[in-house]
Amino acid sequence: GAVVSQHPSRVICKSGTSVKIECRSLDFQATTMFWYRQFPKKSLMLMATSNEGSKATYEQGVEKDKFLINHASLTLSTLTVTSAHPEDSSFYICSADRQGSADTQYFGPGTRLTVL
Amino acid sequence: QKEVEQNSGPLSVPEGAIASLNCTYSDRGSQSFFWYRQYSGKSPELIMFIYSNGDKEDGRFTAQLNKASQYVSLLIRDSQPSDSATYLCAVIGGATNKLIFGTGTLLAVQP
């Protein structure tokens, strides 16, 4: 299989706090991991692309100082939403590009963030 | 023009019928095409990918690609109520490995 996990699955936090979301590929090594955001009834929007050991590449309009990405190993990437505000409330989904599997991305189950 | 376009639906089909989902894309250099299924509140699940013109079959699912027309479709035979979900078309463009998603088509299979 190609299993990707995310933790936590759901988080509620107060405005101004920071939240860390972990993404792990459980049974394969991921060349690249991707972070997406999805608002209700909207499609997935790519936020950033991260490669192990290097800085993430952010999409236009995504603040890199607000959404910190660390790709520590071939199986773990983290997204930290710093100084979260209610407008950051969304469904955050990571995916992993399986090494040797070219373009196929496998998605984690997602993290529902609610900022009060 | 959006990079990947889908009819948002909902597409309603009776149980046992064939559901036909369509997608067009703007980047003529695109090489890889994917269909994902997403249930409400869940993340996308890969159903099929296709790289070459023509048809690709996997069980009840058939993906069809026509690069000349920049068109990719997904057929679901013998539709089941459990197939009711949003189907996302995604394309990897010619220059990068980024997935570009359409807005999805909501499929409702009526028992």
What is the rounded CA–CA span in Å between residue B43 and residue A69? 20
**B8-17 CB burial, b ≥16 within 10 A, e <16:** eeebebeeee
DSSP SS3 for B83: helix
Is it the case that residue A108 has pLDDT exceeding 80? yes
Spatial distance between the Cα atoms of B108 and B80, rounded to a whole number of angstroms: 9
- Classify strands B71-76 and B19-25 as parallel, antiparallel or unpaired: antiparallel
Report, as an integer, the average pLDDT of A50-57.
Answer: 86
Contacting B with CB below 8 Å, chain A residues are 32, 34, 42-44, 46, 49, 93, 95, 97, 102-110, 112
Query: Rounded to a whole number, what is the distance in Å from the CA of B103 to chain A's nearest CA?
Result: 5
H-assigned helices in A14-99: none
Identify each DSSP E strand in chain B by its residue range: 4-5, 11-14, 19-25, 32-38, 45-50, 54-58, 61-66, 71-76, 85-92, 99-101, 105-110
| B contacts of A108 (beta carbons < 8 Å) | 43
Q: Give B49's contacts in chain A (Cβ within 8 Å).
A: 103-104
Interchain CB distance below 8 Å, B88 and A43: yes
Is the per-residue pLDDT at A100 higher than 60?
A: no
**Shortest alpha-carbon distance between residue B71 and chain A (Å):** 19
**Alpha-carbon distance A115 to B7, whole Å?**
32
A11, two tokens: 């988080």
pLDDT at B54: 96
Beta carbons of B46 and A93 less than 8 Å apart: no
CA-CA distance, B36 to A67, in Å (whole number)? Answer: 26
- Angle at alpha carbon of residue B47, lines to A21 and A56, rounded to 5°: 35
Which among A42, A46, A104 has CB closest to B49?
A: A104
Phi-psi region of B82 (alpha: psi -120 to 50; beta: other; left: phi over 0): alpha
Give the distance from residue B75's alpha carbon to the nearest chain A alpha carbon, in angstroms.
20
Of residues B98 and A78, more confidently modeled: A78
Q: Is the pLDDT of residue A102 over 60?
A: no
**Residue A6 C-beta-side C-alpha neighbours within 13 Å:** 28
Tokens 């009711």 -> residue: B84
Task: Output phi, psi for B12, to 5 deg.
Answer: -110, 125
Average pLDDT estimate for A84-112: 87
- Tens digit of pLDDT per residue, chain B (111 long)? 678 999 888 999 999 999 999 999 999 989 899 999 999 989 999 899 999 999 999 999 999 999 999 999 999 999 999 999 999 999 987 677 788 899 999 999 999
